[in-house]
Amino acid sequence: MTRIDESLDITFAALADSTRRAILAKLALGEASVTELAEPFAMSMPAISRHLKVLERAGLISRGREAQWRPCRIEGRGLRQIADWMEEYRGIWEARLDRMQSYVEALHADAKRDSKKGAVQKRTKKAAR
């Protein structure tokens, strides 16, 4: 396993938790203190701190120190790595979805043609009687 793979594993594991994703969403709006980040959650400060450590280890946030205030901020490095990884697969996924769309459109066209053909045959049979 490469260093990049290990880093992706850590980042995806960090993002797998809804609390951590909510913390990132709040930090996307700007810096916030640990207390501010903890407000919407019914959990202890040590639990929030553990979540922040996971995010920090994944490179998704950084924590500073300004006098008594310890601001947390979002870091693009970890998210950039995931975006880059996903971009590698986007072309494959888009090609597969395009093929599926073409297939579904062909099925609809066939069904429509068969429906019209069936209606014409019914009219022809009625007229022949």
68 with 98, same domain?
Answer: no
Per-residue pLDDT at 123: 62
Which residues form the domain of 116?
88-129
Per-residue pLDDT at 126: 63
Q: Angle at the Cα of 45 (from 9 to 21), degrees rounded to 5? A: 35
Per-residue pLDDT at 127: 59
Per-residue pLDDT at 115: 80
Per-residue pLDDT at 122: 65
Q: Residue 61 in contact with residue 27, Cβ under 8 Å? A: yes
Q: For 41, which DSSP code?
A: S
Domain count, the chain: 2
Phi, psi of 92 (to 5 degrees): -65, -50
12 with 65, same domain?
Answer: yes
Per-residue pLDDT at 50: 96
Q: Residue 26 in contact with residue 37, Cβ under 8 Å? A: yes
Q: Could you state, in chain order, the average pLDDT of each consecutive group of 10 residues for the chain (129 residues)? A: 82 96 96 93 94 96 83 89 89 92 92 75 62
Alpha carbon distance 12, 55 (integer Å): 10
E-strand stretches of the chain? 32-33, 61-63, 71-74
Question: Count of H helices and E strands in the chain?
Answer: 5, 3
61 with 106, same domain?
Answer: no
